[in-house]
Amino acid sequence: MSITQSSASLFTTATEEKEGAFSARYSLWIKEALDELPHSFTITDPFISGHPIVFASPGFLKMTGYSREEVIGRNGRAFQGPKTNRRSIMEIREAIREERPVQVSILNYRKSGSPFWMLFHMIPVFGNDDGRVIHFVAVQVPISGRKMRNGSGCSEMVFGSCRREVCLGSYVHQERALPVECDEQELENWEHCEASESEKLKSVEAVGNVLSVLTRYSEFAGRLVCGKRSCLRVADCLSSSLVISLGRIKQSFVLTNPCLPDMPIVYASDAFLTLTGYKRHEVLGQNCRFLSGVDTDSSVLYEMKECILKGKPCTVQILNYSNRKDKSTFWNLLHISPVRNASGKTAYFVGVQMEASCKDIESKELRPETRQLSVVGAVRVAVRSSFMVTC
Amino acid sequence: MLLKIKRVPAVVSNHQKDETAEEEEGEGCGRNILSKCCINVERLPLYTCKPAEENVTFLESLLLGEWEDRFQRGLFRYDVTACETKVLPGKYGFIAQLNEGRHLKKRPTEFPVDQVLQPFDVNKFNFTKVSQEELLFQFEADLPLEAGNSPSVVAINVSPIEYGHVLLIPQVLDCLPQRIDHKSLLLALHMAVEAANPYFRVGYNSLGAFATINHLHFQAYYLAMPFPIEKAHSLKITTTNDGVRISKLMSYPVRGLLFEGGNSIKELSDAVSNASVCLQNNNISFNILISDSGKRIFLLPQCYAEKQALGGVSSELLDTQVNPAVWEMSGHMVLKRKEDYEGATEEKAWSLLAEVSLSEERFKEVNTMIFEAIGCSAEEEEEELEEESSISGGFIRVNCCISVKEEAVSN
């Protein structure tokens, strides 16, 4: 192995890391099995900050003109553009938030910048053991554009221009992406492009195929997934939509559940893991006390406990012990506060950490205290709606 | 004929007192009411709109951080997060909140409702009288300010509908009356764009459409849910020369227009401003909802206050004391009585909003006026599309007291 080859193998790229996280859930050869499917589809992980794509099929890459590295780690929004219908974008966003399937025609853009209409069909994939959403699978079926609808009217509108008739007439019976000869600007200006019945069936078939592969390979791995939620989500498991919302907050914080014994951590941000040097699976389910050590002032701990019992916010300066390589301690300016959900009752406590040394080198535009409180505010907004599911 | 209704105003500032009590007590924060300089803007953090590449979440962090600070300091009349809220079952997902603290158990005051344009009255409460601590930050589209322009500020609403409920007051010291002008609407649109969050909406109520205070202001708050109005389908009517697409709402209880697109934020904003000014000049009250991070703007003319003043609203609806301002029109209903909250249904919300909407005929008239003012023609096909009710499959037809309205206008 040459020097350049060996040094390259030392570093996992971000792409490989995300793909690795995906494969870890399933048994070996999952990616190869998915690669064999002819369809265009992507798989996203709501538990990674930014809800990124963690798998993209060869069919997807071919359709959009991107390479695998350019797609993995990006959010699906990246393929939308200025003329993409805003209401359709909202439909997808809300389906994700409500953890339910959606099928909608939408305008997307290739790497070249050229627009194309496709039928977007997305389903949640649930873990059988804990009932939470593990992934979202999204299938893309290009629409030939035979029928178009304007708004909510049902008339099949055939435009008068010869060019469009040529485009449409010759391809009536084929399910392909629109021919390149069609004026792209016109494509963008269509209010809506209805998929044909056969295109809709294609999307259902594709979704089914992908789900079968995932189910089979999860079974082998002993952690079955399925298309329907088989059990109620366990109490200490947050909904994927809450996790997605929390994933947008870049600062270090945790959510703890005061209703569970010993008030365990139910969410930890990436920044918290970086600050403390722990891995996510090491902290979830644990009480925060693992961050305290020999020299942590017990009166401060007592003060915190009192505030929690009274349901009041408080800020303390506390000595914490990290799990970073140097096992260093750090002064943590910690702010905790109770957070209510839609019922109006306290559902969680949020703890926002601020390393004391960082206090002075914070952004000169926003005071560190304000930044810390903004995390509390963002968590309140996210949690406030987290129980508001439509019936 | 002067039309009036009686209602209890929502208190948006801790220094806002009962209108009639003002004559007896000193008002505002105790300082000289003739002085405009009750507030010291220099002490506020300043936010100016940045080019797109820079820190997109900065406005959100500033707003949430400052709001949470006031929240913990107890400046709000109640903890809005302790108010129970739910989504009503049904196709649209109307959002209901039980909020007993928002409206006071006070004697209702009279509000003239037949004049959308009213001159500023220094004797009434206005935003130069809020205290320093109610102000969060100064917000400007760009600096330096044009000569003679006073600063624009963001303040808390002490009776919040949701977390983060703020008031945007353009050029606060200029004491502009509550009416839309191009510069102010553009500022409000900038705020929605800079917040970069589809769950942060900015709203406006004209006089007669349940604006509480005749001092130019917009409202905004966070709610991580879709508003029913955002789910409604729309039918394109026309596109302006600047590329602004105007559509009308379909199968939603309120008839209204949706503005999208445009070659720039300013062009989108100007289209809405032109339409609003037209409504103002024709004494038609309306609400504006800026949604989807400033990409979609709803313009909703209404006639509820007038109807109420003329006795055209059922007592059942009046008893709920829901004033259909922009948030209610969008599908977010704040209810003060437990029985209304427990018994809230999509049908009830629908029928309340249907009462507020203009009739089809009146709406067509208004659209004609608006398009003339904007300088474009409707391309809409004159198909008779059945407007479905999403609930029972039948019609919910609204007639906004056309004959009554004519009577009012002729006076």
Mutate to test the interface with B, among A90, A192, A244, A253 (most CBs of B within 10 A): A90
The predicted-structure confidence for B318-372, as pLDDT tens digits, reads as follows 776 778 899 999 999 999 899 999 999 999 999 999 988 999 999 999 999 999 9
The predicted-structure confidence for A132-174, as pLDDT tens digits, reads as follows 899 999 999 999 865 554 443 333 333 333 334 334 443 333 3
Q: Which member of B15, B103, B165, B217 is catalytic?
A: B217
Half-sphere exposure of A29 (CA within 13 A, CB side): 6
What pLDDT is attached to residue A236?
Answer: 61
Angle between helices B402-410 and B360-374 (to 10 degrees): 50
Task: Walk me through the domains of chain B, giving residue ranges and CATH numbers.
Answer: 57-400 (3.30.428.70)
Q: When comparing pLDDT for B48 and A55, which is higher?
A: A55
The predicted-structure confidence for A189-231, as pLDDT tens digits, reads as follows 777 888 899 999 999 999 999 999 999 988 877 778 888 887 7
Distance CA A266, CA A243 (A): 10
The predicted-structure confidence for B137-153, as pLDDT tens digits, reads as follows 999 987 666 777 789 99
Q: Which residues of B touch A335 (CB under 8 A)?
A: none
Angle between helices B182-195 and B265-281 (to 10 degrees): 130
A227 Cβ contact list (under 8 Å, min separation 6): A123, A124, A125, A126, A211, A215
Joined tokens for residue A81: 């553009």
Q: Which ranges of B243-391 does DSSP label H, i.e. alpha helix?
A: 265-281, 304-309, 315-319, 326-330, 338-342, 346-356, 360-374
Range of A2-16, B3-17, B360-374 with top mean pLDDT: B360-374
Q: Which residues of B touch A374 (CB under 8 A)?
A: 60-65, 68
Asked whether the beta carbons of A80 and A120 are under 8 A apart, the reply is: no
Distance CA A312, CA A335 (A): 11
Neighbours of B121 (CB within 10 A): 12
Distance CA B116, CA B386 (A): 32
Portion of chain A with pLDDT greater than 90, in percent = 63
Starting at the edge strand that comes first in sequence, how are the strands of the sheet with A253-256 ordered?
A265-268, A253-256, A346-352, A329-340, A314-321
Mean pLDDT to the nearest integer, A89-111: 95
Portion of chain B with pLDDT greater than 70, in percent = 77
Averaged pLDDT score across all residues of chain B: 82
Residue listed under structure tokens 């600096």: B143
The predicted-structure confidence for A252-300, as pLDDT tens digits, reads as follows 999 999 999 999 999 999 999 999 999 999 999 999 999 999 999 999 9
Distance CA A311, CA A331 (A): 24
Q: B372 has which bridge partners?
A: none
Joined tokens for residue A388: 């508001």
Mean pLDDT to the nearest integer, A67-88: 94
Q: When comparing pLDDT for B129 and B384, which is higher?
A: B129
Mutate to test the interface with B, among A86, A89, A185, A248 (most CBs of B within 10 A): A86
Q: When comparing pLDDT for B384 and A308, which is higher?
A: A308
**Is pLDDT at A17 greater than 80 in this prediction?**
no
Within 208-237 of B, beta carbons closer than 8 Å to A belong to 222-226, 230-231, 233-236
**Is pLDDT at A9 greater than 80 in this prediction?**
no
Q: When comparing pLDDT for B388 and B1, which is higher?
A: B1
Q: How far apart are the first and last CA of chain A?
A: 60
Range of A2-11, A128-137, B31-40, B287-296 with top mean pLDDT: B287-296
Within 230-289 of B, beta carbons closer than 8 Å to A belong to 230-231, 233-236, 247, 250-251, 260
**Is pLDDT at B400 greater than 70 in this prediction?**
no
A388 Cβ contact list (under 8 Å, min separation 6): A342, B85, B86, B87, B95, B225
- Give yes or no: B233 in active site: no
Average the pLDDT over each of A198-212, B14-28, B32-46, B195-209 and give the range with the smallest value.
B14-28
Distance CA B287, CA B305 (A): 13
What pLDDT is attached to residue A62?
Answer: 96
The predicted-structure confidence for A311-339, as pLDDT tens digits, reads as follows 999 999 999 999 998 989 999 999 999 99
Distance CA A270, CA B230 (A): 33
Look at residues B370, B196, B214, B220 and name the one whose alpha carbon lies nearest to residue B288: B220
What pLDDT is attached to residue A186?
Answer: 77
Q: Which residues of A touch B251 (CB under 8 A)?
A: 152
Neighbours of B83 (CB within 10 A): 23
Within 370-389 of B, beta carbons closer than 8 Å to A belong to 381, 383, 385
Q: Which residues of B touch A93 (CB under 8 A)?
A: 198
The predicted-structure confidence for B282-328, as pLDDT tens digits, reads as follows 999 999 999 999 999 999 999 876 677 777 777 777 776 778 899 99
Q: Which ranges of A247-367 does DSSP label H, i.e. alpha helix?
A: 270-276, 280-283, 298-310
What pLDDT is attached to residue B379?
Answer: 59
The predicted-structure confidence for A345-381, as pLDDT tens digits, reads as follows 999 999 999 998 765 555 557 888 999 999 999 999 9
Neighbours of B172 (CB within 10 A): 27
Asked whether the beta carbons of A242 and A158 are under 8 A apart, the reply is: no
Distance CA B351, CA A136 (A): 37
Pairwise CB contact (< 8 Å): A381 & B163: yes
Q: When comparing pLDDT for B86 and A23, which is higher?
A: B86
What pLDDT is attached to residue B189?
Answer: 97
Greatest Cα pair distance in chain A: 82
What pLDDT is attached to residue A163?
Answer: 37
pTM higher than the cut 0.90: no
**Is pLDDT at B102 greater than 70 in this prediction?**
yes
Asked whether the beta carbons of B275 and B269 are under 8 A apart, the reply is: no
Distance CA A303, CA B386 (A): 64
Task: Walk me through the domains of chain A, giving residue ranges and CATH numbers.
Answer: 3-143+195-226 (3.30.450.20), 144-181 (no CATH), 234-389 (3.30.450.20)
Mean pLDDT to the nearest integer, B192-202: 96
Mean pLDDT to the nearest integer, A3-26: 63
Tell me if ipTM is over 0.90: no
What pLDDT is attached to residue B106?
Answer: 57
What pLDDT is attached to residue B110?
Answer: 62
Distance CA A223, CA B138 (A): 53
What pLDDT is attached to residue B149?
Answer: 78
Give how far Cα A102 sits from Cα of A151, A373, B127, B178, Å: 19, 36, 46, 42
Range of A4-18, A377-391, B75-89, B143-157 with top mean pLDDT: B75-89
Asked whether the beta carbons of A247 and A48 are under 8 A apart, the reply is: yes
Average the pLDDT over each of A48-52, B200-204, B321-325 and give the range with the smallest value.
B321-325
Asked, as a colleague might, if the bond just before B144 is cis with ω within 30 of 0, I would say yes
